[in-house]
Amino acid sequence: MSYLFTSESVSEGHPDKVADQISDALIDNFLAFDKNSKVACETLVTTGQVFLAGEVKSKTYLDVQQIARDVINKIGYTKSAYMFDGNSCGVLSAIHEQSPDINRGVDRSSPEEQGAGDQGMMFGYATDETDNYMPLALELSHRLLIELALLRRENSDIDYLRPDAKSQVTIEYSDENVPQRIDAIVISTQHDDFDPSDAVMLARIKKDLIGILIPRVVAKLPADIQKLFTDNITYHINPTGIFVIGGPHGDTGLTGRKIIVDTYGGKGGHGGGAFSGKDPSKVDRSGAYATRHIAKNLVAAGLCKEVLVQVSYAIGVATPTSINVETYGTATVALTDGEISKKVATLFDMRPYFIEQRLKLRTPIYSETAAYGHMGRTPEIKIVTFSNPMGETVSEEVETFTWEKLDYVDKVKAAFKL
């Protein structure tokens, strides 16, 4: 019997995502000037205020207030009418030095023996139902909001949009776990103020999102996904009626409160640890990226159609306490999942130092991860530039989303004789 599955996404202007983006901008600036920085920073945003807290060990000094303001302005909170804007909000920093007890467990005389920055388990997932090996409901939820943000910045066809927004997509699957159609789409977008009784304006928002946004999204999708957009989709557009009060004025935002949006939309598993605001010594982040890298390469190599990879660590210990692979019965080789797990452990060195090296994680690449998902993105090589209060400016070439590269497909095929 067919079934429904739903995933959601939130825009870059959602208060939790504002907090994530500030935290990751701090990570990038610390790493730009000191590659060995150890950082765990959290951000809280609310009406007219930003609070920064956390622990840092670094040789550099940053103007964290200005970094926060720049992020807020870039997102689009630039008007006093929003009750939160980058130029006028207060920014309070309570960032202090990292605990030596934590640092003792990470740093080693031999870099290769670097210990995990925390205990815990991390998951990576991949499926062949989309070209980027991501769950379809989440992929579409992200795409809706990415396109909505483009429309907002164009300020042409739709000129009333504000930065905060949420989306949700429900997919009908067959018994064979194949997407059949889109059952429902929910979009709530913040907009400029108008009379709540203005039925014409409410109707215009619904008409614009269904008639302008949806076709733009569909046009950028592969043909097989376009076919899922039928005339039988149920749309819920701003179902509460109006959405003027939003962003940090409408709801307090915190770093790390959208971890399912950040990963797989409820598919697979999640260890519970957030990513944003953490340098790569924190295995909550690097371990999750590494397991996604494994999962994506396993599916792309044809080993299975769907896979969940788990890794776990003890704080201060380099070697993982476990590596587990679950193929959901889709493996194409005559091996148990336990046997597959053992082979995977020999292919991918999951000690923290080697993850950092393999995926080039000690570079300032994290700001882009903080909205629209950490997984399923396209790797790019680009030049980034940072400045600090001492008048220093650094530029370097970085590679983003390295955990999305299919650079182990041949190794997987050789190991499993595919």
Q: Are residues 96 and 38 in the same domain?
A: yes
Q: Are residues 22 and 163 in the same domain?
A: no
pLDDT in tens, 152-183: 999 777 999 999 999 999 999 999 999 999 99
Q: Are residues 282 and 354 in the same domain?
A: yes
φ/ψ (deg, to 5) at 69: -65, -40
Q: Are residues 314 and 351 in the same domain?
A: yes
Amino acid 341 reads: S
The answer to whether residue 113 sits within a structural domain is no
Q: Are residues 236 and 153 in the same domain?
A: yes
The answer to whether residue 251 sits within a structural domain is no
> Residue 147 and residue 263: Cα distance in Å, rounded?
20
Residue 98: its pLDDT value, please?
65
317 close to 120: Cβ distance less than 8 angstroms:
no
70 close to 86: Cβ distance less than 8 angstroms:
yes
Q: Which two tokens stand for residue 142?
A: 């992200």
Q: Are residues 287 and 368 in the same domain?
A: yes
39 close to 362: Cβ distance less than 8 angstroms:
no
The last residue of one of the domains, among 246, 280, 309, is 246
Q: Are residues 86 and 195 in the same domain?
A: no
401 close to 382: Cβ distance less than 8 angstroms:
no
CATH number at residue 153: 3.30.300.10
Q: Are residues 198 and 90 in the same domain?
A: no
**Domain carrying residue 19:** 15-106
Residue 106: its pLDDT value, please?
62
Q: Is 29 helix (H, G, I), strand (E, B) or coil?
A: helix
Q: Are residues 322 and 203 in the same domain?
A: no
224 close to 139: Cβ distance less than 8 angstroms:
no
Q: Does position 348 have pLDDT exceeding 90, yes or no?
A: yes
Residue 109: its pLDDT value, please?
58
Annotated binding site for Mg(2+): 16
> Residue 216 and residue 294: Cα distance in Å, rounded?
33
Distances (CA, A) of 186 to 214, 377, 398: 12, 23, 36
The answer to whether residue 328 sits within a structural domain is yes
Q: Are residues 93 and 59 in the same domain?
A: yes
The answer to whether residue 252 sits within a structural domain is no
198 close to 227: Cβ distance less than 8 angstroms:
no
Residue 107: its pLDDT value, please?
59
Residue 202: its pLDDT value, please?
85
Residue 26: its pLDDT value, please?
97
Report percent pLDDT > 70 for the chain. Answer: 96
- The helix (run of H) or strand (run of E) holding residue 307 is strand 306-313
pLDDT in tens, 234-285: 999 999 888 888 999 999 999 999 999 999 999 999 999 999 999 999 999 9
Annotated binding site for K(+): 42
Q: Are residues 210 and 319 in the same domain?
A: no
The last residue of one of the domains, among 246, 268, 296, is 246
Residue 242: its pLDDT value, please?
87
The confidence band for 366, taking pLDDT boundaries of 50, 70 and 90, is: very high
Number of domains within the chain: 3
Q: Are residues 375 and 294 in the same domain?
A: yes
Annotated binding site: 14, 16, 42, 55, 98, 164-166, 251, 257-258, 274, 278, 282
Annotated binding site for ATP: 14, 164-166, 251, 257-258, 274, 278
Residue 240: its pLDDT value, please?
87
Residue 155: its pLDDT value, please?
78
pLDDT in tens, 284-327: 999 999 999 999 999 999 999 999 999 999 998 999 999 999 99
The answer to whether residue 111 sits within a structural domain is no
The answer to whether residue 293 sits within a structural domain is yes
The answer to whether residue 330 sits within a structural domain is yes
Residue 103: its pLDDT value, please?
53
pLDDT in tens, 89-147: 999 999 987 655 455 556 555 676 787 878 899 999 999 999 999 999 999 999 999 99
The answer to whether residue 265 sits within a structural domain is yes
Q: What pTM value is reported for the model?
A: 0.95
The whole-number average pLDDT for the span 36-65 is 95
Residue 115: its pLDDT value, please?
77
Annotated binding site for L-methionine: 55, 98, 251, 282
Query: Mean pLDDT, the chain, as a whole number?
Result: 94
- Residue whose entry in the numeric block shows the structure tokens 């295995």: 283
